[in-house]
Amino acid sequence: MRRLTPYVPALLLLAALTGCQSPESGPQADQERQVVSALKGYEEALSQGQPEAIRACFTEDIDYLEGSDLRLKGPDAVLKGFATLNFKIVKAGFTPLATLRDGDLVRQTGLIRHRIEFPKGNRAWGEGRFEALWVQAPDGRWRIRRWETAPAQ
């Protein structure tokens, strides 16, 4: 402990001069929290099966990739794609693992765990990973510009 004592005042001064800020505070952290909140909104819209609420989560130029099999461009195409599924999402679930600012965009990665129901009433869990690219719209809301999913590892 004696060895560090002479350095404590210098470390405190350095922290004060550099404007030491917690990573959980500041404008970037606020934007990242807003995106996590927007993801919750998307999750709720999917769980409730509300097409207009789902559409409102996307930009007009959304690029939606479901694995390597399906690529949809634009919110209308995404909604039509959802309508053709042979199951219903009963409870959507997204767990963000990383939400990072990237210029004017926010990149988010995470896990998917949906409770799904098939036409005959059978239920199952659908799991996977997602990567989303969010952009802040002129109205201040964060919307998804690119959504890509992959199978769980």
Predicted pLDDT at 24: 59
Per-residue pLDDT, averaged over 83-108, amounts to 91
Identity at 63, one-letter amino acid code: D
Tens of pLDDT along 99-115? 998 888 999 999 999 99
Tens of pLDDT along 7-49? 444 433 334 443 434 445 676 778 889 999 999 999 999 999 9
Its pTM stands at: 0.79
CA-based nearest residue to 134, from 148, 122, 120: 148
CB atoms closer than 10 angstroms to residue 70 = 12
